[in-house]
Amino acid sequence: MGSGEMGIEITTNWEVGNPIVIKGFHHVEFENKGIVLEYVPESIISYNFLSSLSRLPDEEKNHSVLRFVLMPEGDHTTILLTISNFPTEAIYHHLNFYWNVTLAMLSRQYLSDH
């Protein structure tokens, strides 16, 4: 989740219903706070979150939901990312851009390592 310069720090125990906090720096410091919704080791991670950058009230309707599903396929793994609940159009565009770039970087990194 982000380049090394972003200094991403994730704090959670991955138990469903418990908090997840993601802190980092991307032009400014940010803190995403949410709840773990689903966790199946080596298979599924889902959580909701509200970014401090959004400046929206901490209400359920303002939390976006990310769900990652890992699908082993022979000698590689496909990541299926579903993002839902975009409280604003700006958040939609930011998450769409950020995760398209991040997933492409993960893929390039994996391919260069193998």
Compute the average pLDDT of residues 84-88.
Answer: 97
The neighbour count for residue 61, using CB atoms within 10 Å, is 8
Strands (E), the chain: 9-11, 19-26, 28-40, 44-51, 64-73, 76-84
Q: Among residues of the chain, what percentage have pLDDT more than 90?
A: 82
Nearest 5 degrees, angle CA 29-CA 33-CA 39?
130
Residue type, 75: D
Range 11-40 burial, b when 16+ CB lie within 10 A, else e: ebeeeeeeebebbbeeeeebebbbbbbebe
What would the pLDDT profile of 20-33 be if each residue is shown by its tens digit?
Answer: 999 999 789 999 99
Q: For the whole model, what pTM was predicted?
A: 0.86
For domain 4-113, say whether CATH 3.10.180.10 is its number.
no
> In whole angstroms, what is the distance from residue 38 CA to residue 47 CA?
7
Computed over every residue of the chain, the mean pLDDT equals: 92
Backbone angles phi, psi at 80, to 5 degrees: -105, 120
Domain ranges of the chain: 4-113
Can you tell me which residue has the tokens 């599903």? 69
> In whole angstroms, what is the distance from residue 91 CA to residue 52 CA?
12
